Amino acid sequence: MEHPTARRIQFPQHLSDLYSIFRQSILLILGISLLWGYVSDSLMTSWLESLPLGNSSLDLSIYSPFDWLEMRWAISILLSILTVMPLLSIRLQRFASPGLLPSERTWFSIVLAFCTLVLPIAIILLWWIAFPVLIEATLAADALDGVGSRYDAASIFGLAIGVSWILVCIILATVTMSLARLLGMVEKGRTRMRNRLLVILGGVLILSLPSQFEGLRILLAIIAMAITDWISSSLPAAALGRRQFDVRNLQSSTEEPLRLAIIDCSCEGVCPSVPPGSLPDGVASPTCVALCLNTHEQDALADLVSQHSITELIITGCDAEPIPSKLKRSLSSSGCSTKGLSWLDETRAESIHWRMKSITYSTQEATESALD
């Protein structure tokens, strides 16, 4: 089993790399939007000519030159986002793949492929197929005998851009939320970052949707937030219960650090679990279903030991003998020792109080051994 020991990157460095990706992408979007601005007028004219307005197409009006200029740059920015999306997806895939399990990597690749391929196709179909049909149906419903119709071109563009912008925001927010979950910034019971990301999405939509959506902004923002949270929540569960652990050196007075991880292995549901609140601060608390059988849990545990420089693993269920030899060699190469508490063979393990004392005693024993 290979371990990423050749290159260890701290969590702040990960965030710095991610910030660099988004910063460069934003600058690229601004630059490409200037290029799209030169052809946006012809694209807007071609789209208006494709609308089934009949004789009313000659009655399109622009009541404010600023509105037309605003629509022109809105289309340029939308097209630039779609242009940069493939490059952004590739960079995010390279950034996240080394730290993902196979199931997580597959899921994230599907999400990025959807952003790169399905989103542009959906927006093209929306503009060139869905909106003409919608406008034709609207004209048929609103036709009045003896009453002429004139249409505001900027309002028509505002409606199309608003729907497209909602789709783009949902996709970008979904990718951001997924990355936050993969990096361990959003976990069960830790919803502050999740709530912030969702509020940012809702706020952006409420503030940026065109005036044609007045009265629907809050409702559309809530729907977009619900869709984003639902898609990102479908991310495969972490193999060790969590994706981020707070691990600290428990014995700073010695030359050799002491960094513990107590594995709550249920041994396929046979072993009792670690009582809540029994683990001291600074000790990693991964959970496993069956460490000796599940290869995904073994890979995740090896990565945990490598990334957090764990020096000792304590397994609750067994005496650490059933651990596969490959995993033992991988842990040993990282300077990590293993031992077990053998709760499966102890009848007193049915008592929560006894299990709490067992955790406390094993932690103290490890600290005293480090002092020796």
Range in 41-45, 141-145, 215-219 with the lowest mean pLDDT: 141-145
Residue 362 pLDDT exceeds 70: yes
pLDDT in tens, 91-100: 888 887 776 7
Residue 55 carries which side chain, given as an amino acid letter? Answer: N
Given the structure tokens 């597959």, which residue do they identify?
106
Amino acid at 229: D
Task: List the single range of 4-18, 224-238, 298-312 with lowest mean pLDDT.
Answer: 4-18
Position of tokens 């009582």?
A: 275
- Band of the pLDDT at 246, cuts 50, 70, 90? confident
Q: What is the pLDDT of residues 114-123, one digit of tens each?
A: 778 888 888 8
Q: How far apart are CA 285 and CA 357, in angstroms?
A: 16
Which pLDDT does position 211 carry in this prediction? 80
Give the global pTM: 0.66
At residue 1 the predicted structure's pLDDT band, cuts being 50, 70 and 90, is very low
**pLDDT-derived band at 2, boundaries 50, 70, 90:** very low
Percent over 70 (pLDDT), the chain: 81
- Pair 206, 225: CB distance under 8 Å: no
Query: Which amino acid is it at 57?
Result: S
Residue 196 has pLDDT above 70, yes or no: yes
**CB under 8 Å to 322, separation ≥6 — which residues?**
292
End-to-end CA distance of the chain: 32
- Lowest average pLDDT, out of 9-18, 38-47, 146-155, 336-345, goes to 146-155
Report, as an integer, the average pLDDT of 231-259. 74
**pLDDT classification of 45: cutoffs 50, 70, 90:** confident
Domain 260-371 top-level CATH class: alpha beta
Q: Is the pLDDT of residue 6 over 50?
A: no
| The three-state (H, E, C) secondary structure of the chain, written as one string | CCCCCCCCCCHHHHHHHHHHHHHHHHHHHHHHHHHHHCCHHHHHHHHHHHCCCHHHHHHEECCCHHHHHHHHHHHHHHHHHHHHHHHHHHHHHHHHHHHCCHHHHHHHHHHHHHHHHHHHHHHHHHHHHHHHHHHHHHHHHHCCCCCCCCEEHHHHHHHHHHHHHHHHHHHHHHHHHHHHHHCCCCECCECHHHHHHHHHHHHHHHHHCCHHHCCCHHHHHHHHHHHHHHHHHCCCCCCCCCCCCCCCCCCCCCCCCCCEEEEEECCCCCCCCCCCCCCCCCCECCEECCCCCCHHHHHHHHHHHHHHCCCEEEECCCCCCCCCHHHHHHHHHCCCEEEECCHHHCHHHHCHHHHHHHHHHHHHHHHHHHHC
pLDDT at 333: 82
Q: Check pLDDT > 50 for residue 191.
A: yes
* CB count in 10 Å sphere of residue 101: 20
Give yes or no for a contact between 297 and 289, defined as CB atoms under 8 angstroms apart. yes
pLDDT of residue 190: 57
Per-residue model confidence (pLDDT) at position 54: 53
What's the rounded mean pLDDT across residues 81-97? Answer: 85
Q: Is the pLDDT of residue 145 over 60?
A: no
Residue showing tokens 């690749």: 109
- Looking at every residue in the chain, the average pLDDT score rounds to 78
User: What average pLDDT does the segment 155-172 reach?
Assistant: 85
Beta-strand pair 312-315/260-265: parallel
- Angstrom CA distances, 304 to 1, 317, 322, 344, 362, stand at 14, 19, 19, 25, 20
CB 282 within 8 A of CB 248: yes
Closest CA to 51 of 123, 120, 139: 139
What does the domain layout of the chain look like in residue ranges?
A: 11-233, 260-371
Q: What pLDDT does residue 143 have?
A: 55
What is the β-pairing status of strands 312-315 and 60-61? unpaired
In this structure, how many other beta carbons lie within 10 angstroms of the beta carbon of residue 185?
Answer: 19
Q: What is the pLDDT of residue 5?
A: 38
Q: pLDDT digits over 270-299, tens only?
A: 888 888 877 877 888 888 888 888 887 888
What was the pLDDT predicted at 61? Answer: 55
Average pLDDT on 360-371 reads 72
Share of the chain above pLDDT 90, in %: 5
